[in-house]
């Protein structure tokens, strides 16, 4: 498995680019509505889930993503099994913490469209694994994201930990991620001329009219990310068509929506969140409105925990069928540089 992170990238980069890429970046401090600690008690977990939780916590501790703490804050955690993998996933219920954090808003309110990439230009796509876990929280905010790990039958004092990096489920993590990656890629943008770089969250796309320029831009992009501490793996870089990016499958001349595996056996709010998250990637490409998907998003209402039970209503199933019908009929051509560009809004 090829991996970047320890190679000598300095020998291949101009000094000006090195300085910009390695410049230390400040962390974003969260604005809070109150400084009074919020404590939500940890709920009971089964023996199987306690074992899985402890293994996941040990893993995060070894990676330096969490540290032991005596913080007066607390939010519950739980684990769910990953679909078709038999592995567990750690989830932190941050609903109450999100309520006392001021919303930063989206720095990138929409997704970039691969349809605006010139036809026949080649692409490369970098999928940054565990992107949030490589972007630090402001030290003053760390203690707010604390959780407790209970012991079986209370046989020992529970241990408590807080996150040092962006936690999944914190409402401003996506905005901070957008800002942080943009600051890393700005020197690359300035150095690559006519090449195009798109990024949205943890997906980065580079596009260029020639293979030589594409390789150069890809090297600079990888080097900038590695210099900031990101570990990139060869299998996470897509170089050949069809390129999959932001819910679309892009060829040399056209883009179509990726095939979406729709999970119908919804059992919990966490399942609904996962489904709605997948649909949010493709909704703008399919011409669907928020009203079209309201029956699905309405299943998230209620304010209960992520393990609260949910089932698909008849209206929600109809909404899913509409999504699948749209996916089967949508195709977009990439732009042609030799044709004038016109923006036309078609009404009903």
Distance separating alpha carbons of residues 51 and 54, to the nearest angstrom? 5
User: Which tokens sit at 43?
Assistant: 């709920």
pLDDT in tens, 10-52: 444 455 444 444 456 668 899 999 989 999 999 999 999 999 9
**E-state strands within 101-158:** 122-127, 146-149
pLDDT confidence band for 348 (50 / 70 / 90): low
Helix axes 173-191, 211-227, angle to 10 degrees: 130
Quickly list H helices, 164-268.
173-191, 211-227
pLDDT confidence band for 70 (50 / 70 / 90): very high
- Give residue 305's pLDDT: 73
Report the range of poorest mean pLDDT among 118-122, 167-171, 270-274: 270-274
Residue keyed to tokens 């992520």: 306
pLDDT confidence band for 246 (50 / 70 / 90): confident
- Give residue 129's pLDDT: 85
Residue 320 has pLDDT above 80, yes or no: yes
Report the range of poorest mean pLDDT among 71-80, 197-206, 231-240: 231-240
Are the beta carbons of 245 and 125 closer than 8 angstroms?
A: yes
- Give residue 98's pLDDT: 96
Most confident range (mean pLDDT) of 57-71, 286-300, 314-328 is 57-71
Residue 47 is classified by DSSP as H
Percent of the chain with pLDDT over 70: 87
What is the rounded average pLDDT of the residues 215-220? Answer: 94
User: Which tokens sit at 325?
Assistant: 């019908």
Average pLDDT of the chain to the nearest whole number: 85
Find all residues with CB under 8 Å of 215, minimum gap 6, and list them: none
What is the rounded average pLDDT of the residues 311-319? Answer: 90
- Give residue 25's pLDDT: 61
- End-to-end CA, the chain: 52
Distance separating alpha carbons of residues 75 and 72, to the nearest angstrom? 11
Distance separating alpha carbons of residues 173 and 257, to the nearest angstrom? 26
pLDDT in tens, 52-67: 999 999 999 999 999 9
pLDDT confidence band for 205 (50 / 70 / 90): very high
Domains and CATH numbers, the chain: 17-23+106-131+172-252 (3.30.70.270), 47-105+136-163 (3.10.10.10), 269-324 (3.30.70)
Residue 9 has pLDDT above 60, yes or no: no
pLDDT in tens, 120-162: 999 999 999 889 998 999 999 999 999 999 988 777 889 999 9
């Amino acid at each position: 498995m090829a991996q970047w992170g320890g190679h000598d990238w300095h020998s291949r980069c101009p000094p000006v680019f090195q300085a910009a890429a390695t410049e230390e970046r400040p962390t974003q401090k969260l604005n809070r509505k109150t400084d009074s600690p919020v404590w939500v008690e940890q709920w009971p977990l089964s023996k199987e889930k306690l074992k899985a939780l402890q293994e996941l916590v040990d893993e995060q501790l070894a990676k330096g993503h969490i540290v032991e703490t005596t913080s007066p804050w607390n939010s519950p955690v739980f684990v769910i099994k990953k679909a078709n993998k038999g592995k567990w996933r750690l989830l932190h219920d941050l609903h109450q913490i999100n309520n006392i954090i001021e919303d930063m808003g989206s720095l990138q309110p929409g997704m970039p469209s691969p349809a605006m990439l010139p036809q026949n230009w080649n692409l490369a796509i970098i999928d940054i694994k565990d992107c949030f876990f490589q972007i630090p929280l402001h030290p003053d905010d760390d203690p707010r994201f604390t959780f407790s790990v209970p012991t079986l039958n209370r046989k020992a004092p529970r241990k408590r930990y807080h996150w040092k990096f962006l936690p999944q489920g914190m409402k401003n993590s996506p905005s901070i991620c957008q800002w942080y990656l943009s600051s890393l890629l700005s020197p690359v943008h300035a150095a690559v001329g006519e090449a195009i770089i798109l990024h949205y969250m943890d997906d980065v796309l580079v596009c260029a009219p020639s293979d030589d320029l594409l390789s150069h831009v890809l090297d600079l992009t990888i080097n900038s990310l590695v210099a900031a501490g990101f570990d990139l793996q060869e299998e996470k870089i897509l170089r050949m068509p069809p390129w999959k990016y932001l819910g679309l499958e892009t060829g040399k001349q056209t883009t179509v929506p990726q095939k979406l595996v729709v999970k119908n056996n919804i059992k919990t709010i966490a399942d609904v969140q996962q489904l709605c998250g997948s649909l949010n990637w493709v909704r703008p490409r399919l011409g669907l409105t928020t009203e079209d998907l309201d029956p699905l998003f309405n299943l998230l209402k209620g304010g209960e925990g992520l393990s609260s039970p949910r089932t698909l209503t008849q209206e929600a199933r109809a909404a899913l069928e509409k999504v699948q019908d749209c996916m089967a009929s949508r195709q977009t051509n990439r732009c042609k540089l030799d044709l004038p560009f016109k923006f036309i809004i078609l009404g009903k």
